[in-house]
């Protein structure tokens, strides 16, 4: 799609690193833009080593994209050095942005306790002080992946503190099935015979 033209990747985590290494096989140059000093803070060593070794990937530390240029398609970007404020223009035909994700939990309103970033709080992380006694009345500690609402569970990336990995998300999904059985068992036990 990029036709061998130079591209930019924004971000210093593993997703950005994987993208940069992949794209470097297909384009003439990858401009890798990170806000920090280097790649050590958020990227796995095996990826940062590949990036260091790739002649087609150029790392720009302390860099932030401040402008996009082009008429019918992207032609260049302006990048600012956050330490000095100086800017430079880089020829770029595409920008790939890997700067984190926001959970789609706005629709929940205040139905469930969320953390400051909007992820759903579950299990032991759910301090009892977070619970609204009128709304979330409960006579037991929440199960491991249970939300502030008894019987409502969260699994995967949307869960506060989750690993943000496929295997973890799938594993948590499988765990939740087990926890729902436990929850239903508690309900059954609570029912008068």
Ligand X SMILES: Cc1cc2nc3c(=O)[nH]c(=O)nc-3n(C[C@H](O)[C@H](O)[C@H](O)COP(=O)(O)OP(=O)(O)OC[C@H]3O[C@@H](n4cnc5c(N)ncnc54)[C@H](O)[C@@H]3O)c2cc1C
Helix (H, G, I), strand (E, B) or coil at 67: strand
Site for ligand X contains 177 (CB under 6 A): no
Of these, 68, 99, 166, 184, which contacts ligand X (CB under 6 A)?
166
Minimum CB–partner distance for residue 86 and ligand X (Å): 30
Q: Which residue, 131 or 169, has its beta carbon nearer to ligand X?
A: 169
Site for ligand X in 31-50 (CB under 6 A): none
Distance CA 56, CA 24 (A): 6
Are 157 and 103 in contact, with CB atoms under 8 Å apart? yes
Q: Scanning the structure block, which residue is given the tokens 């990826």?
A: 47
Q: Are 92 and 68 in contact (CB under 8 A)?
A: no
Residue at shortest CB range from ligand X: 156
| The one segment of 51-59, 82-90, 111-119, 163-171 that binds ligand X by CB under 6 A | 163-171
The CA–CA distances, whole Å, from 159 to 83, 121, 165 equal: 35, 6, 12
Residue 169 makes CB contacts below 8 A (sequence gap 6+) with: 155, 156, 157, 162
| Tokens coding 167 | 């295997």
Q: How many residues bind ligand X (CB under 6 A)?
A: 11
Sole binder of ligand X in the list 64, 164, 175, 186 (CB under 6 A): 164
Of positions 64, 81, 136, 157, contacts ligand X by CB under 6 A: 157
Which residue, 77 or 155, has its beta carbon nearer to ligand X? 155
* C-alpha to C-alpha distance for 188 and 154, rounded to whole angstroms: 22
Residues in contact with ligand X by CB under 6 A are 15, 98, 104, 107, 156-157, 164-167, 169
């Amino acid at each position: 799609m990029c036709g061998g033209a130079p591209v930019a990747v924004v971000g210093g985590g593993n997703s950005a690193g994987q993208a940069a290494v992949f794209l470097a096989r297909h384009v003439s140059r990858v401009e890798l833009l990170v806000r920090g000093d280097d790649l050590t803070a958020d990227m796995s060593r095996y990826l940062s080593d590949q990036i260091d070794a790739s002649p087609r990937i150029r790392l720009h530390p302390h860099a932030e994209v401040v402008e996009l240029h082009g008429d019918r398609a992207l032609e260049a970007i302006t990048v600012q050095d956050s330490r000095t404020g100086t800017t430079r223009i880089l020829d770029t035909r595409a920008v790939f942005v890997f700067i984190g994700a926001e959970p789609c939990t706005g629709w929940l309103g205040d139905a469930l306790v969320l953390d400051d970033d909007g992820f759903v709080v579950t299990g032991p992380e759910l301090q009892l002080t977070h619970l609204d006694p009128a709304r979330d009345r409960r006579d037991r500690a929440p199960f491991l992946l249970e939300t502030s609402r008894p019987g409502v569970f969260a699994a995967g990336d949307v869960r506060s503190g989750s690993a943000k990995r496929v295997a973890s998300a799938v594993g948590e999904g499988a765990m939740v099935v087990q926890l729902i059985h436990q929850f239903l068992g508690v309900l059954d036990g609570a029912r008068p015979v």
